[in-house]
Chain A
Amino acid sequence: MKKVLFFIPFIALVILGSFFYFNLDRHDDQMPSALLGKSVPSFTLVNLKTNDIITQKDLPQGPYLINVWGTWCPACAQEHEYLMELSAKGINIIGIDYKDEMKPALDWLAERGNPYSKVIFDEMGRLGVDLGVTGAPETFVVNSKGVIVQRHQGVVNEAVWQSLKSYMNE
């Protein structure tokens, strides 16, 4: 009888371990955004390139990507190249220049190329807050109905794009 008791800790660990294991999978989709399934929040900001007012009505008919970036973010520099590739493939990408300054941002695009069809200049991070952005880079997938269907925190690369791609046609 006593020998059986000695197995209890092991069994407890197995139960707990498998619980964690299955729970980890649930987090594979990263932090759920409150905006998943909703349309892009309304905003009135400046278009970085043209200096005009830009609002949510100026967003394209989907599907497209919204990419949050800034010149202050080294990972964005790393991501930029891949975004250029995506845009060359004909993917429509809207940029949000997040908590940035205008001059360096324009220089950045001039120097590295511009993968964005439009760039929203979000100097104060107002739109970023509405989108629930925690840091740059961050990417949202918007489908043809204008609904946000997926969110990715961190650099978009080939592997990430393969998983995001499927959401584009949802």
Chain B
Amino acid sequence: MIPELAHFSLILAMCFAVLGFLVPVIGVYQRDRVLARLSLPLTYLTGVFTFLAFLGLCYSFSVDDFSVLYIAENSSQLLPLWFKISAVWGGHEGSLLLWVLILSGWNCYVAFRSHALYEDFRGILLSVLSLISSGFLSFLLFTSSPFVRLLPNSPQIGGDLNPLLQDFGLIIHPPMLYMGYVGFSVPFAFAIAALITGKMDAQWARWVRPWVNFAWAFLTLGIALGSWWAYYELGWGGWWFWDPVENASFMPWLAGTALLHSLAVSEKRGLFKSWTLLLAIFTFALSFLGTFLVRSGVLTSVHSFASDPTRGTYVLTMLLIIVGGGLLLFAMRASSIRNTSYFDIFGKESWLLLNNILLITLTLIVFVGTLSPLVLEAMGSGRVSVGPPYFNLVFNPVACLLIFFMGIGPISRWQSTKPKYLLRVTWFPFILALFIATACFQFLLFEWLAFFAFTIALWVLIMAIRDLLGKAVTKDTTVFTRMRKLPKSRYGMHIAHIGVVISLIGVVLVSINSEERFVRLHVGESASVKNYQFTLSDMAVSREANFVSQKAEFNVTNNDVALGVMYPEKRYYQTRGQVMTEAALSTGFTRDLYIALGERYDDDSWSVKIYVKSFVRWIWLGALVMMFGGILAALDKRYKPRGEIE
């Protein structure tokens, strides 16, 4: 009964979403204020009924209702409760429901905060958001309903959640990633509303910026969690694989980062307006494309847990209607949106323009790398893959250049900044950074790009700290009073930039200062990697609730100082007949030790993979710092909804 009620509630949600799209549009064009205002309750109703449907599915999962096909395929009565709940988004249907839930929740929040907007604008804004909701709700209902029953022969036991997904990282990774993807629908709707009403000014930009910041912060966290999960759960020892699905989440991130910066110019200087609008559409399109690529099976990837061509066609059609409509509108209306001042080549706007050019170049590099195998296949060259070598060769130098400009941009001023001034404030930090980097590289393997990246990272770090300490160069106040006076958005910016620096240092060090070895060990033997000795002291088999485990025990010492015991494991999940490698990790601020258990040889020895990863934590730490910076900037009081968009 509950699944049927939930299904019905989802149908209601779709009806409200369709109404929420149509009614305000009619209201705006007929100048009927009552109809236009209906956009608010309709948005809330869509949200409430989607939430009820989601609750229904969660409930059915918690009571092991295996007569529902989706639950039978993705859950098992042996799972602990929290995995039953996270199994709700363990497969395609449920993760799509989560997606729609987050989308309508986000829309409700926009509606809730929209009272300062003038009515026509609000009507169109909420109407566009409802259109997106109705697209995804109908996709869910028509192609991938999670409420399909398996009757009359319903199984007694569930097929179990994919063991790869039985993990804390995976409980929170999809919701965060979706918050990011979905969040970019808000700037998209704002862009459409701006194009239709022809109104786009500094107030508009101040309205959009916090939404972009939030979406970007969540996407950052989502990507970082995904990378962290792949690192410790997939047992590959790497943190980024240029896998199509990773790229699919990375592209909107890059475009969204460009949007963040371009919005700053639109707000402060009234420039780049049509470019900002285009970026808003573009970022949303890439989020959408991400969904399409993952769900359609067009790209094969380690992540493709669910793929189906009919679903692909549906998402593609939706993409073409919504994004195509947006771009067509852009083509026809963008020329009516005029920049309100002139571009100054020596101002901060030039650096931000460079930032945008580089970020879009990076997006295109990833785009080409992800899709060119498809194009080549279509042209008949067979299946090829563009691997990390391409990305390392093309992506990394451009990214380094971008980070170089990240040093100059924040300290230059709007309109005119004399080159002499820039030179004056940058040379000393640069010498200092070069000095520290040279000192550090005495202990590291020398590589040009790594050395350059490391120096630039330190340089940006020094300048960001100096800017925060001494922004207002007045003599009469202390550093602390000055710091308190700085707006949150400035802190947010520097903190996010410092986050990039931290990640970059992590990336550089993990790539040049790590060591990995494959060894073959009997019980009692040991291997040494870098300064660490790993002794295989025991092997044991044990039976757990839903798997059988083969566990090894390693004693680890660092130059004869005992560090503790590590237990890499292989798990055999009977329900799915799947074998999983659970690597043992010993994490640390400056290094991770990583042991993965391989195969057993005939003579009872085991193949073992051991890594010592230098500073790998910093990569994710940096992402957290970036996220924090993004949220802090969004909370700046400048963005509090006050005036109307005129």
Q: How far is the CB of A153 from chain B (nearest CB, A)?
A: 10
Q: A9-B278, A72-B574, A74-B73 are in contact. Are A24 and B324 (CB under 8 A)?
A: no
CA–CA, A59 and B78, complex, Å: 39
CA–CA, A70 and B216, complex, Å: 44
B316 contacts the other chain (Cβ, under 8 Å)?
Answer: yes
CA–CA, A20 and B328, complex, Å: 19
Asked if A20 contacts B159 (CB within 8 A), the reply is no
B244-298 at interface with A (beta carbon < 8 Å): 274, 278, 281-282, 285, 292, 296-298
B374 contacts the other chain (Cβ, under 8 Å)?
Answer: yes
Chain B residue nearest to A136 (CB atoms) is B577
Q: Which of B150-158, B206-214, B339-347, B513-521 contacts A (4 or more CB under 8 A)?
A: B150-158
Asked if A28 contacts B331 (CB within 8 A), the reply is no
CA–CA, A29 and B69, complex, Å: 24
Asked if A74 contacts B150 (CB within 8 A), the reply is yes
Q: Which of A11-19, A88-96, A139-147, A160-168 contacts B (4 or more CB under 8 A)?
A: A11-19
Asked if B335 contacts A19 (CB within 8 A), the reply is no
Chain B residue nearest to A124 (CB atoms) is B577
Asked if A125 contacts B577 (CB within 8 A), the reply is yes
Interface of B is mostly: helix
Binary per-residue interface labels of chain B (127-155) against chain A in the complex, 1 for a CB within 8 Å, 0 otherwise: 00000000000000000000000100101
Which residues of chain A are within 8 angstroms of B451 by Cβ–Cβ distance?
Answer: none
CA–CA, A73 and B274, complex, Å: 54
A77 contacts the other chain (Cβ, under 8 Å)?
Answer: yes
Asked if A10 contacts B158 (CB within 8 A), the reply is no
Q: Identify which of A74, A80, A81 contacts B72 (C-beta below 8 A).
A: A74
Q: Identify which of A2, A17, A23, A26 contacts B320 (C-beta below 8 A).
A: A17
Chain B residue nearest to A128 (CB atoms) is B577
B350-379 at interface with A (beta carbon < 8 Å): 374-375, 378
Which residues of chain A are within 8 angstroms of B378 by Cβ–Cβ distance?
Answer: 19, 22-23, 26
B576 contacts the other chain (Cβ, under 8 Å)?
Answer: yes
Asked if A70 contacts B577 (CB within 8 A), the reply is yes
Q: Identify which of A24, A28, A98, A99 contacts B316 (C-beta below 8 A).
A: A24
B558-591 at interface with A (beta carbon < 8 Å): 574-577
Q: Identify which of A3, A24, A77, A81 contacts B312 (C-beta below 8 A).
A: A24
B25 contacts the other chain (Cβ, under 8 Å)?
Answer: no
A80-117 at interface with B (beta carbon < 8 Å): 80-81, 98-99
Which residues of chain A are within 8 angstroms of B184 by Cβ–Cβ distance?
Answer: none
B334 contacts the other chain (Cβ, under 8 Å)?
Answer: yes
Q: A2-B335, A17-B319 are in contact. Are A75 and B328 (CB under 8 A)?
A: no
Asked if B159 contacts A74 (CB within 8 A), the reply is yes
Which residues of chain A are within 8 angstroms of B319 by Cβ–Cβ distance?
Answer: 17
Asked if B328 contacts A99 (CB within 8 A), the reply is no
CA–CA, A7 and B320, complex, Å: 15
B66 contacts the other chain (Cβ, under 8 Å)?
Answer: yes
A27 contacts the other chain (Cβ, under 8 Å)?
Answer: yes
Q: A2-B335, A24-B312 are in contact. Are A13 and B576 (CB under 8 A)?
A: no
A61 contacts the other chain (Cβ, under 8 Å)?
Answer: no
Q: How far is the CB of A25 from chain B (nearest CB, A)?
A: 8
Q: How far is the CB of A69 from chain B (nearest CB, A)?
A: 12
Asked if B309 contacts A7 (CB within 8 A), the reply is no
Asked if A21 contacts B316 (CB within 8 A), the reply is yes
Asked if A6 contacts B334 (CB within 8 A), the reply is yes
Binary per-residue interface labels of chain B (59-99) against chain A in the complex, 1 for a CB within 8 Å, 0 otherwise: 00000001001001100000000000000000000000000
Asked if B274 contacts A6 (CB within 8 A), the reply is yes
Which residues of chain A are within 8 angstroms of B335 by Cβ–Cβ distance?
Answer: 2-3, 6
Size range of the interface on A?
20 to 34
CA–CA, A2 and B335, complex, Å: 8
Q: Identify which of B282, B298, B334 contacts A27 (C-beta below 8 A).
A: B298
Chain A residue nearest to B324 (CB atoms) is A13
Asked if A20 contacts B375 (CB within 8 A), the reply is no
B491 contacts the other chain (Cβ, under 8 Å)?
Answer: no
Asked if A74 contacts B312 (CB within 8 A), the reply is no
CA–CA, A128 and B300, complex, Å: 21
B367-398 at interface with A (beta carbon < 8 Å): 374-375, 378
Which residues of chain A are within 8 angstroms of B375 by Cβ–Cβ distance?
Answer: 19
Q: Identify which of B150, B300, B313, B332 contacts A24 (C-beta below 8 A).
A: B313
Asked if B323 contacts A7 (CB within 8 A), the reply is no
Which residues of chain B are within 8 angstroms of A25 by Cβ–Cβ distance?
Answer: 309
Q: Identify which of A9, A27, A31, A73 contacts B330 (C-beta below 8 A).
A: A9
Asked if A9 contacts B150 (CB within 8 A), the reply is no
A44 contacts the other chain (Cβ, under 8 Å)?
Answer: no
A169 contacts the other chain (Cβ, under 8 Å)?
Answer: no
Q: How far is the CB of B306 from chain A (nearest CB, A)?
A: 11
Q: Identify which of B331, B332, B575 contacts A9 (C-beta below 8 A).
A: B331
Asked if B285 contacts A13 (CB within 8 A), the reply is yes
Which residues of chain B are within 8 angstroms of A80 by Cβ–Cβ distance?
Answer: 153
Q: How far is the CB of B619 from chain A (nearest CB, A)?
A: 32
B45 contacts the other chain (Cβ, under 8 Å)?
Answer: no
Q: Identify which of A10, A21, A73, A74 contacts B324 (C-beta below 8 A).
A: A10
CA–CA, A3 and B333, complex, Å: 9
Q: How far is the CB of B162 from chain A (nearest CB, A)?
A: 10
Asked if B323 contacts A13 (CB within 8 A), the reply is yes
Q: Identify which of A10, A77, A78 contacts B327 (C-beta below 8 A).
A: A10
Q: How far is the CB of B570 from chain A (nearest CB, A)?
A: 16
Which residues of chain B are within 8 angstroms of A13 by Cβ–Cβ distance?
Answer: 285, 320, 323-324, 327
CA–CA, A56 and B577, complex, Å: 25
Which residues of chain B are within 8 angstroms of A73 by Cβ–Cβ distance?
Answer: 159
Asked if B278 contacts A20 (CB within 8 A), the reply is no
Asked if B155 contacts A77 (CB within 8 A), the reply is yes
CA–CA, A81 and B300, complex, Å: 32
Which residues of chain A are within 8 angstroms of B576 by Cβ–Cβ distance?
Answer: 72
Asked if A10 contacts B316 (CB within 8 A), the reply is no
Q: A24-B298, A26-B378, A74-B158 are in contact. Are A17 and B577 (CB under 8 A)?
A: no
Q: How far is the CB of B576 from chain A (nearest CB, A)?
A: 7
Asked if B153 contacts A6 (CB within 8 A), the reply is no
Which residues of chain B are within 8 angstroms of A23 by Cβ–Cβ distance?
Answer: 298, 374, 378
Q: 24 A-B Cβ contacts within 8 A? A: A6-B274, A9-B331, A10-B324, A10-B328, A13-B320, A14-B320, A14-B324, A19-B375, A20-B298, A20-B316, A24-B316, A25-B309, A27-B297, A27-B298, A31-B300, A72-B574, A72-B575, A72-B576, A72-B577, A74-B69, A75-B159, A77-B153, A78-B150, A99-B577
- A residues with a Cβ closer than 8 A to B are 2-3, 6-7, 9-10, 13-14, 17, 19-28, 31, 70, 72-75, 77-78, 80-81, 98-99, 125
